[in-house]
Amino acid sequence: MGVIEPLTKIFREVFDDEDITLSGEMTADDVDGWDSLSHVNLIVTIETRFNIKFTQKELLTFRNVGDLMDSIQSKLPS
Amino acid sequence: MVFNSLEYFLFLPAIWLVHYFLGQRFRWLFLLVASLIFYVSLKVPYLLGVITLVTITTYGFGLWIHRVEQLQQKKLLLWGGIATNVLILVAMKYVPFLTENLNVLLSLFDSPIKAPHAQLLVAIGVSYYVFQAISYLSDIYLEIEEPETHFGYFSLYLAFFPKLLQGPIERARDLLPQLKQKYEFNYDNMRFGLLLFTWGLFKKVVLADRLGLYVDAVYNDVHAYQGLPLLLATYAYAFQIYFDFSGYTDMALGTARLFNVKLTDNFNSPYLATSVADFWRRWHITFSRWILDYIFKPLQMSWRNWKNWGTAAALVVTFFVSGLWHGASWGFVIWGLLHGTYMACSVFYRPFQKKIHKAMSLEKTKVLKIWQIFVTFNLVCLAWVFFRAFGGWQALYVLKNIPEMHHNYVALIDNGWADFIRNNIMFGLDKRNIITLAACLICYAIIISKKSYDLLNKPTYIRWTAYYLLIFSIIFLQVSSKKYIYFQF
């Protein structure tokens, strides 16, 4: 299963913006309204939808959307 | 020795000259020895032992965390390293506070047992390098950084004298590469460094210390005042602490620049912040980034399932720790908790805030911005009262009596303007003092508003006039120097 499609859907919902298109290099600075509060919403929504759990270490070291996607991918059953 | 002392004015050029003529191979060693001499000059010998202990343990734990394979072991070692550092900090700063409060608690239960009275130790610099040590260990654990293998450079990272006593709190990845860089004389860095140092000195000895006279007149005897003087002294304190700390930081940054090292700036016009969160992005920036990255974010993420409540709780805990870091007293704790509460409230208020502004068609207007700056400044000042007052009761007296301005009005009607100004605006201080203070503050405001601090790009005659004026005012308008407010932390 591809990660980018469901993840884009989550981003569009959380940030209430239908025009968001994800890319690996994207960071919080590129998305309007991506602050520490919405970040928590984003993470919790991702964890619920994909039924996964991020570790504390992962959460503290995500540099961009690419890191986030890699981590989700690694947790999904292959 | 402090930056605005004769010793330092001799120390710095001497160190710079020797450093300049030494070969690159020995520069780190020389700077390390110089930094330790600088530290020893405070005449508190055990501090040398403390910094050595922090350096050795952090260096060891850093390598160890990196070397072990299993995540669980890494975690254990990280906690071991952090615990060692925190214990050192607690032993240095918090034992008297803890025993005192324990005794109060014991007396409530009529317990015959009493904790022995502990002496308060001088801990200048300790909280700064302990924080840097913790950030270093955490970054190695998170694998955003490799441990430094060269013990000498690592020691210099913690002890580098421009930032040793009062920050900025530097990350190893920002500072270490600069310390290792080959030194080459750089005229622009020299010019900029010296100007920044002088500008910081001006802020400290002319502005902060003079404002200090004004603040002390009221705060050393608050019960003699009501209404307006309490408000004015609180506002004055907000600027005193800003000039004191940002002046010190400029001197630290200026000194480091002479050695081609660029330290991180700590301030960005904090009183123009439009929210308390914005204030913390502009005030003591290296410290707020530290508490954000190493306390707030881990807590917020651990409590993420509580959504906004988790974030709010993380903010309160983070700022509680921030208050404690500033010192072992209830005043600082309340100050921290106030900031934590402001930010926790804004977590819930923010979604409505946007809607309210939209409904009143105030979005992005100048009026709104001025209003937000005004409100933020006053919230910050309210918290400063606890920072400055001697104990919580005195702070409560100040806050309770600021609104009592009708007393000032009655005094004005009864005794006339001259008396009113003398008692409520000048607090018995000399007229010359007040005029000099006002003139200096106006000059400062003009310089800042015209961005004239970008002096180095101005024509020669303007530059040299400004240099002379700056030095002239430092020599003739300085107030006999006192200690730095942020030293005690």
Measured between alpha carbons, how far is residue B293 from residues A20, B129, B177 in Å?
27, 17, 21
E strand or H helix at A61: helix A56-61
Based on the fold, state whether residues B146 and B258 are members of the same structural domain. no
How many domains does one find in chain B? 2
Q: How far apart are CA B157 and CA B178, in angstroms?
A: 10
Asked whether B70 and B93 are in contact (CB, 8 A), the reply is no
* Residues A9-18, mean pLDDT to the nearest whole number: 89
Contact across the interface for B307 and A40, Cβ inside 8 Å: yes
| Nearest residue to B391 via CA among B149, B223, B196, B250 | B223
Tell me, yes or no, whether B1 lies in a domain.
Answer: no
Copy the structure tokens of residue A64.
């961009």
Could you say which architecture CATH assigns to the domain A4-75? Orthogonal Bundle (1.10)
Q: Which residues in chain B have their CB less than 8 angstroms from residue A60's CB? A: 142, 297-298, 301
Q: Which residues in chain A have their CB less than 8 angstroms from residue B305's CB? A: 44
Q: Does the pLDDT value for residue B270 go beyond 90?
A: yes
The residues of B assigned a catalytic role are 326
Asked whether B431 and B421 are in contact (CB, 8 A), the reply is no
**Of the residues B166, B185, B204, which one is the last residue of a structural domain?**
B185
Based on the fold, state whether residues B156 and B16 are members of the same structural domain. yes
pLDDT of residue B481: 57
Based on the fold, state whether residues B90 and B147 are members of the same structural domain. yes
Q: How far apart are CA B165 and CA B161, in angstroms?
A: 7
Helix axes B366-388, B228-258, angle to 10 degrees: 90
* Residues A66-76, mean pLDDT to the nearest whole number: 90
| Nearest residue to B71 via CA among A55, A31, A8, A12 | A55
Based on the fold, state whether residues B97 and B243 are members of the same structural domain. no
Chain A nearest CA to B95, separation (Å): 32
Q: How far apart are CA B152 and CA B58, in angstroms?
A: 13
| Nearest residue to B247 via CA among B266, B262, B275 | B266
**Is B366 exposed, middle or buried, given 0-12, 13-18 or 19+ CB atoms closer than 10 A?**
exposed
| Nearest residue to B160 via CA among B309, B46, B49, B30 | B30
**Of the residues B185, B201, B225, which one is the last residue of a structural domain?**
B185
Based on the fold, state whether residues B259 and B356 are members of the same structural domain. yes
Which ipTM was obtained for this model? Answer: 0.85
Q: How far apart are CA B307 and CA B305, in angstroms?
A: 5
What band does B52 get if pLDDT is binned at 50, 70 and 90?
A: very high
Contact across the interface for B305 and A59, Cβ inside 8 Å: no
Based on the fold, state whether residues B305 and B170 are members of the same structural domain. no
Q: Does the pLDDT value for residue B348 go beyond 60?
A: yes
What band does B238 get if pLDDT is binned at 50, 70 and 90?
A: very high
* Residues B279-293, mean pLDDT to the nearest whole number: 93
The structural domains of chain A, with segments of one domain joined by +, span 4-75
What band does B484 get if pLDDT is binned at 50, 70 and 90?
A: low
What band does B459 get if pLDDT is binned at 50, 70 and 90?
A: confident
Q: Which residues of A39-51 are buried (b: 16+ CB within 10 A; e: fewer)?
A: bbbbbbebbeebe
Domain span at residue B230 reads 190-488
Based on the fold, state whether residues B170 and B208 are members of the same structural domain. no
> A53 in contact with B at a CB cutoff of 8 Å?
no
Based on the fold, state whether residues B99 and B112 are members of the same structural domain. yes
Tell me, yes or no, whether B66 lies in a domain.
Answer: yes
pLDDT of residue B100: 80
Q: What is the pLDDT of residues B309-343, one digit of tens each?
A: 999 999 999 999 999 998 878 889 999 999 999 99
Q: Which residues in chain B have their CB less than 8 angstroms from residue A42's CB? A: none
Chain B nearest CA to A41, separation (Å): 7
* Residues B253-265, mean pLDDT to the nearest whole number: 95
CB atoms within 10 A of CB A53: 8
Tell me, yes or no, whether B45 lies in a domain.
Answer: yes
Average pLDDT, chain B: 88
Q: CA torsion angle for A44, A45, A46, A51 (degrees, to 10)?
A: 90
Q: Which residue of A has its CA nearest to B292?
A: A36
> A44 in contact with B at a CB cutoff of 8 Å?
yes
DSSP conformation letters of B245-268:
HHHHHHHHHHHHHHTT--PPP--S
How many CB contacts within 8 angstroms connect chain A with chain B? 36
Chain A nearest CA to B314, separation (Å): 12
Contact across the interface for A37 and B308, Cβ inside 8 Å: yes
What's CA B68's distance to the chain center, in Å?
36
CB atoms within 10 A of CB B12: 21
Indicate the residue type of B480: S
Q: What is the pLDDT of residues B66-109, one digit of tens each?
A: 999 898 999 999 999 999 999 999 888 887 778 888 888 888 88
Based on the fold, state whether residues B113 and B89 are members of the same structural domain. yes
Q: Which of B143, B144, B311 sits opposite A37 (nearest CB)?
A: B311
Q: Which residues in chain B have their CB less than 8 angstroms from residue A44's CB? A: 304-305, 307
Q: How far apart are CA B346 and CA B362, in angstroms?
A: 19
Based on the fold, state whether residues B163 and B216 are members of the same structural domain. no
> A61 in contact with B at a CB cutoff of 8 Å?
yes
pLDDT of residue B298: 93
Based on the fold, state whether residues B439 and B342 are members of the same structural domain. yes
3-state secondary structure chain B: CCCCCHHHHHHHHHHHHHHHHCCHHHHHHHHHHHHHHHHHCCCCCHHHHHHHHHHHHHHHHHHHHHHCCCHHHHHHHHHHHHHHHHHHHHHHHCHHHHHHHHHHHHHHCCCCCCCCCCCCCCCCCHHHHHHHHHHHHHHHHCCCCCCCCCHHHHHHHHHCHHHHCCCCCCCHHHHHHHHHCCCCCCHHHHHHHHHHHHHHHHHHHHHHHHHHHHHHHHHCCHHHCCCHHHHHHHHHHHHHHHHHHHHHHHHHHHHHHHCCCCCCCCCCCHHHCCCHHHHHHHCCHHHHHHHHHHHHHHHHHHCHHHHHHHHHHHHHHHHHHHHHHHCCCHHHHHHHHHHHHHHHHHHHHHHHHHHHHHHCCCCCCHHHHHHHHHHHHHHHHHHHHHHHCCHHHHHHHHHHHCCCCHHHHHHHHHHCHHHHHHHHCCCCCCHHHHHHHHHHHHHHHHHHHCCCCCHHHCCHHHHHHHHHHHHHHHHHHCCCCCCCHHHHC
* Residues B416-443, mean pLDDT to the nearest whole number: 80
Place of tokens 């408000």: B231
Asked whether B334 and B395 are in contact (CB, 8 A), the reply is yes
Chain B nearest CA to A3, separation (Å): 22
Q: Which of A36, A57, A61 sits opposite B300 (nearest CB)?
A: A36
> A1 in contact with B at a CB cutoff of 8 Å?
no
Q: Which residues in chain B have their CB less than 8 angstroms from residue A56's CB? A: 298, 301-302
pLDDT of residue B120: 72
Lowest mean pLDDT among A32-46, B145-159, B312-326, B460-474: B460-474
Question: Between residues 21 and 40 of chain A, which touch chain B (CB distance below 8 Å)?
Answer: 36-37, 40
Contact across the interface for A40 and B310, Cβ inside 8 Å: yes
Copy the structure tokens of residue B197.
């140092």
Copy the structure tokens of residue B438.
């006002």
pLDDT of residue B451: 62
Copy the structure tokens of residue B298.
């881990």
Q: What is the pLDDT of residues B16-25, one digit of tens each?
A: 999 999 888 8
Contact across the interface for B142 and A57, Cβ inside 8 Å: yes
Q: Which of B143, B301, B305 sits opposite A59 (nearest CB)?
A: B301
**Of the residues B136, B155, B185, which one is the last residue of a structural domain?**
B185
Percent of chain A clearing pLDDT 90 (strictly above): 31
* Residues B11-32, mean pLDDT to the nearest whole number: 91
Chain B nearest CA to A43, separation (Å): 8
Q: How far apart are CA A57 and CA B381, in angstroms?
A: 37
Q: How far apart are CA B479 and CA B489, in angstroms?
A: 23
Based on the fold, state whether residues B353 and B473 are members of the same structural domain. yes
Q: Nearest 5°: CA angle at B12, between B7 and B16? A: 155
Q: Which of B141, B143, B300 sits opposite A40 (nearest CB)?
A: B300
